[in-house]
Structure 1
């Protein structure tokens, strides 16, 4: 049987919690991580009606995009929908997990799902994050270099974009004199020793530091392993906000709006004046995306597709780019497909079900 913690660990392998924004509350919100899973219900929002659906369908785990608990709860007496949802989930032993901005901020995540729906090509992160990469420098005897590197690679080091097993090494001479009580792998206690070594350098995601150092110590022959770490300002092109890509063929004006409406299954689009030039380069951000407008402009996007634009923010387009606000729910609803697709491929001993509950709080009169 599969426990809740095994499933959540899998989600965090492709959407690490370390990549969520500081204001967020992704992770296991309600439930016992050691509980055995009977079924998983995937939804955009975990609401009371979704908990009812989970109970009816025999699912004891809800995986949502938005955290039902976003701010601190000081009391649980059912005075609002958040407290009522949590109380009902606890009463019926239904766990609730949320993969939110951590899933937004990874290549292949929420924004890449939007890009997939729009059939965009050459898709990449719109605003990559910096200071989420670190560099490890260590020193190993020549004969142990490959063993150490393989252990570091297996732990998650050495990945740069689509390239793996990346490292740099230089040869030099290490010196040491083992003291009393030591057990040197090479050399003798009390005797000065020189050893030809490789200086090894690898990059790794900063949040994986613990497992990288554990792998280093386990694979390294020395009793005391010399190393140092540094945080890099380099952008991690696999982590960041938004996405950008190109349409298969350029479109003009209303043809673009029809394309967007069809592919995102929309009832309504709020938009600024569209470019008169052919529209080809599209930037996207699920949910609130106005903070990314400068990045979309710098990246040469013709159109920025996002949600939750305020009236005065539309003026910021300033004839440089077209803004298409498609609605928060509408921009992220296909996240259910994204999550369920991952889970269904990995786990086969229980059902992974897409929620049928329509919990979009916004209605349109057309």
Structure 2
């Protein structure tokens, strides 16, 4: 019998990145491994909404080596890590207990089959599509690099978000060839001498880059490339990507009145309460959803012909705008619209581990509560 391979934190991170690539995250977000050693062994993974004292202690009590959360523990750079501030105390406790922490935040929100798909399915939506798609323009980037630097340049491109094709990352094509050049008197060539014809064994490195990652990928490539003048091509592709983005929009199997559907949503999401904007008798057929804070999608929902936007954290003026546009709202709260990710991501990880024949236990932690109380 083949010996069971040791599972490491980086293996779990790989599963997460395959499902919801870090490249899908908003620029301001901080996703991925936040605390811990990627090479550390793991036998038990816990999943929670937030990395709080409660969930960290629960993970430690379960003997877990990893806590996967939706919300990041570290949003901004820390000046210091001490037990004297909230974040520092949590980091210190996790490190001391050998508990790594990973965040899957806006990348999970945007991913195909991710949080917003789970939310939409939970409240009865069919035929779902992204409410606000990421610009789907794709480019092929071709760069010529000396053979010995090809790996470093490729890694720089991947770190910038290049090489993502569906559920696969680090995708590239590499072919060997010979590059020729003659450098001018004012140049400082990496290879050869000024004024002489030179030839060098090079690799033609090709990869795919989405428009939103183009600038960052090219900048990292240029920094890693050894040449003064880098020869590269950017080719716009006819194929595009439109299956990822923020929020989802779909249809109910049968139209419902706003009042009745709001009651159903409250029960389905086990919410303490919901807030509603619109006529309770309005017929709802086409519904947009966005877990967490989605009031910024009022205009997108209206453009796509939604009768209703289901989200959380709606402010007074956002509600006024929606009302003026004839868009009904159900605000079920940040917590109730996002905690569905606990079981959803736990299922994804369990399935991925099973497919790879990795013996790791995945435990959803469902002990968190909405901090708000209605009196």
Is residue 240 of structure 1 aligned with residue 260 of structure 2? no
- Give the TM-score of the pair, scaled to structure 2: 0.73
User: Residue in 2 aligned with 1:191?
Assistant: none
Q: How far apart, CA to CA, are the structure 2 residues paired with 1:131 and 1:120?
A: 24
* Cα deviation, residue 287, structure 1: 0.9
User: Residues 275 and 319 of structure 1 are in contact (CA less than 8 Å); yes or no, is this contact kept in structure 2?
Assistant: no
Q: For the structure 1 residues 231 and 31, does the alpha-carbon distance in structure 2 shift closer, same or farther, using more than 3 Å as the test?
A: farther
User: Residue in 2 aligned with 1:116?
Assistant: 121
User: Residue in 2 aligned with 1:35?
Assistant: 40
Is residue 330 of structure 1 aligned with residue 339 of structure 2? no
User: Residues 131 and 232 of structure 1 are in contact (CA less than 8 Å); yes or no, is this contact kept in structure 2?
Assistant: no
Q: How far apart, CA to CA, are the structure 1 residues paired with 2:47 and 2:164?
A: 32
User: Residues 290 and 313 of structure 1 are in contact (CA less than 8 Å); yes or no, is this contact kept in structure 2?
Assistant: yes
* Cα deviation, residue 183, structure 1: 9.0
* Cα deviation, residue 29, structure 1: 0.4
**Matched position secondary structure for 1:246:** strand
Task: Choose from 352, 362, 365 the match for 2:362.
Answer: 352
User: 5+ residue gaps in structure 1?
Assistant: 139-154, 162-175, 185-200, 214-225
User: Residues 306 and 324 of structure 1 are in contact (CA less than 8 Å); yes or no, is this contact kept in structure 2?
Assistant: yes
Q: For the structure 1 residues 286 and 202, does the alpha-carbon distance in structure 2 shift closer, same or farther, using more than 3 Å as the test?
A: same
Q: How far apart, CA to CA, are the structure 1 residues paired with 2:17 and 2:207?
A: 23
Task: Choose from 339, 342, 346 the match for 2:348.
Answer: 342
**Matched position secondary structure for 1:22:** coil
Deviations 1:31-54 (A, max 9, x none): 000000020010000111211111
Task: Choose from 7, 18, 43 the match for 1:13.
Answer: 18
User: Residue in 1 aligned with 2:297?
Assistant: 292
Q: For the structure 1 residues 70 and 133, does the alpha-carbon distance in structure 2 shift closer, same or farther, using more than 3 Å as the test?
A: same
Q: For the structure 1 residues 331 and 42, does the alpha-carbon distance in structure 2 shift closer, same or farther, using more than 3 Å as the test?
A: same
Is residue 321 of structure 1 aligned with residue 327 of structure 2? yes
> What pairs up with 1:1-366 in 2 under 5 angstroms?
1-130=6-135, 133-135=138-140, 205=210, 228-230=233-235, 236-274=241-279, 276-317=281-322, 318-347=324-353, 348-365=358-375
User: Residues 245 and 282 of structure 1 are in contact (CA less than 8 Å); yes or no, is this contact kept in structure 2?
Assistant: yes
User: Residues 47 and 359 of structure 1 are in contact (CA less than 8 Å); yes or no, is this contact kept in structure 2?
Assistant: no
Count of matched residue positions in the alignment of Structure 1 and Structure 2: 304
Q: For the structure 1 residues 77 and 204, does the alpha-carbon distance in structure 2 shift closer, same or farther, using more than 3 Å as the test?
A: closer
- Give the TM-score of the pair, scaled to structure 1: 0.74
User: Residues 286 and 306 of structure 1 are in contact (CA less than 8 Å); yes or no, is this contact kept in structure 2?
Assistant: yes
Q: How far apart, CA to CA, are the structure 2 residues paired with 1:135 and 1:275?
A: 50
* Cα deviation, residue 275, structure 1: 6.6
Deviations 1:186-228 (A, max 9, x none): xxxxxxxxxxxxxxx9966466989xx9xxxxxxxxxxxx983
Q: For the structure 1 residues 202 and 90, does the alpha-carbon distance in structure 2 shift closer, same or farther, using more than 3 Å as the test?
A: closer
User: Residues 40 and 62 of structure 1 are in contact (CA less than 8 Å); yes or no, is this contact kept in structure 2?
Assistant: yes
* Cα deviation, residue 9, structure 1: 1.3
* Cα deviation, residue 233, structure 1: 11
User: 5+ residue gaps in structure 2?
Assistant: 1-5, 144-161, 168-178, 181-196, 222-230
Q: For the structure 1 residues 74 and 132, does the alpha-carbon distance in structure 2 shift closer, same or farther, using more than 3 Å as the test?
A: farther
Q: For the aligned residues, what is the CA RMSD?
A: 3.2
Q: How far apart, CA to CA, are the structure 1 residues paired with 2:14 and 2:317?
A: 42
User: Residues 342 and 366 of structure 2 are in contact (CA less than 8 Å); yes or no, is this contact kept in structure 1?
Assistant: no
User: Residues 47 and 82 of structure 1 are in contact (CA less than 8 Å); yes or no, is this contact kept in structure 2?
Assistant: no
